[in-house]
C-alpha cells in the first residue's frame, strides 16, 4: 500500500516545469551523489542533517525530498519538515528509480546569476523560462549592455547566455534554447517541440512550424509593451508556461466555435 507521504516518479515528472511545481530538495549524501552526480530537474542539494533550517522558506509550496533510494534519508527529512509545518513528501524509489525510468537528470548548477544583453525578445525570454522551470527556480537574470556582458559575468560570477562565443549561445542552426536543452540533457518531446517553435521565431524561419509566426508576433508585441526588461520577463513567463502546456498536453486539440454551438 502506498505511503500517504510519498509521490511517485510519474506524478513528480508531471509537475516539473509548471509554475506551481513543488520545491525539490536532494538530500543524498556526498558518497551517493558522487556515484550519480546529477539532479532531478529544478532540484537543489541540502544536507539531511540540518533540513529543519529550510522550513521557514518552504511553507508556501509543496516540497518533495529526494535521496538515493527513497528510504531513510528522504523519509526522515520529509517527516522533520512536516513537523515544522511544511507540506513535504518523499520520492518513491529515489533518484535511482528516476534514472531507471529514463527521465532527465541535470548537472549541478554553478551559479544563481545569469547575464545577457538588454532588451530581450525571444531566446532571451525563452531561456530564462527554461532555466527557472527546469534548472534553477532561484535563478536571477541580469540584462546589461552587450559590451559589458563578459565583465559582468566575471565580476558577479554570473553565467553569460545568448551571446556569441559563450557556451550557451547559437550553435549551427540551433538557438540558445537548443544549447541549454542539450547541455542540461533536457530531452523531452514537449521541450523539443517548443525548441522548434522558438528556433523558428528567433532565427526567422517560419517554415519550421505553424506556431512560429504566432510566437514571433506575441514576442514583438511584448517587447513594445514593456520598457523594463525584468517586467517583460515576468510577463513572458506566462506565455512560455502556456506554450509548454500546449506542447505537452494539447498538441492535438483544436478549437472550432462552429462545432461547439457558437460558444467561443
State residue 120's pLDDT score.
96
Length of the chain: 264
3-state helix, strand, coil in the chain (%, to 5): 45, 15, 40
d(CA 22, CA 65): 10
Counting as low any pLDDT under 70, the low residues of the chain are 1-2, 257-264
Please name the residue that has the C-alpha cell 512536516.
82
Cβ within 8 Å of residue 214, ≥6 positions away:
none
d(CA 233, CA 211): 20
Among the CATH numbers 3.40.630.10, 3.40.50.1100, 3.40.50.2000, 3.40.250.10, which is that of 6-100? 3.40.250.10
Please name the residue that has the C-alpha cell 563578459.
150
pLDDT tens-digit readout, 47-105: 999 999 999 999 889 999 999 999 999 999 999 999 999 999 999 999 999 999 999 99
Please name the residue that has the C-alpha cell 508531471.
14
Cβ within 8 Å of residue 107, ≥6 positions away:
37, 38, 39, 183, 184, 185
State residue 138's pLDDT score.
95
Residue-range domain boundaries for the chain: 6-100, 113-249
DSSP-assigned states of every residue in 105-154 = -BPPP--SEEEEESS--SHHHHHHHHIIIII-TT-EEEEE-GGGHHHHHH
- Residue 209 C-alpha cell reads as 512550424
State residue 110's pLDDT score.
82
Amino acid at each position: 500500500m502506498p505511503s500517504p507521504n510519498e509521490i511517485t516518479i510519474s506524478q513528480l515528472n508531471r509537475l516539473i516545469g509548471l509554475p506551481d511545481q513543488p520545491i525539490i530538495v536532494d538530500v543524498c549524501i556526498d558518497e551517493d551523489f558522487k556515484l550519480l552526480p546529477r539532479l532531478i530537474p529544478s532540484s537543489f542539494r541540502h544536507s539531511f542533517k540540518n533540513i529543519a533550517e529550510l522550513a521557514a522558506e518552504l511553507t508556501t509550496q509543496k516540497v518533495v525530498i529526494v535521496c538515493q533510494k527513497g528510504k531513510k534519508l528522504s523519509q526522515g527529512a520529509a517527516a522533520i519538515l512536516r513537523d515544522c509545518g511544511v507540506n513535504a513528501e518523499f520520492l518513491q524509489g529515489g533518484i535511482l528509480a528516476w534514472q531507471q525510468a529514463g527521465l532527465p537528470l541535470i548537472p549541478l548548477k554553478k551559479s544563481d546569476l545569469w547575464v545577457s544583453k538588454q532588451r530581450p525578445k525571444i531566446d532571451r525570454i525563452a531561456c530564462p523560462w527554461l532555466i527557472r522551470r527546469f534548472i534553477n527556480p532561484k535563478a536571477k537574470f541580469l540584462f546589461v549592455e552587450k559590451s559589458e556582458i563578459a565583465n559582468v559575468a566575471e565580476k558577479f560570477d554570473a553565467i553569460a547566455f545568448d551571446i556569441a562565443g559563450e557556451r550557451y549561445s547559437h550553435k549551427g542552426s540551433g538557438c540558445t534554447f537548443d544549447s541549454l536543452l542539450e547541455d542540461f540533457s533536457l530531452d523531452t518531446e514537449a521541450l523539443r517541440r517548443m525548441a522548434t517553435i522558438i528556433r523558428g521565431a528567433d532565427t526567422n524561419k517560419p517554415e519550421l512550424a505553424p506556431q512560429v509566426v504566432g510566437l514571433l508576433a506575441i514576442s514583438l508585441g511584448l517587447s513594445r509593451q514593456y520598457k523594463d526588461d525584468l517586467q517583460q520577463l515576468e510577463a513572458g513567463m506566462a506565455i512560455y508556461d502556456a506554450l509548454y502546456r500546449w506542447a505537452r498536453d494539447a498538441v492535438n486539440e483544436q478549437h472550432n466555435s462552429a462545432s461547439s454551438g457558437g460558444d467561443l
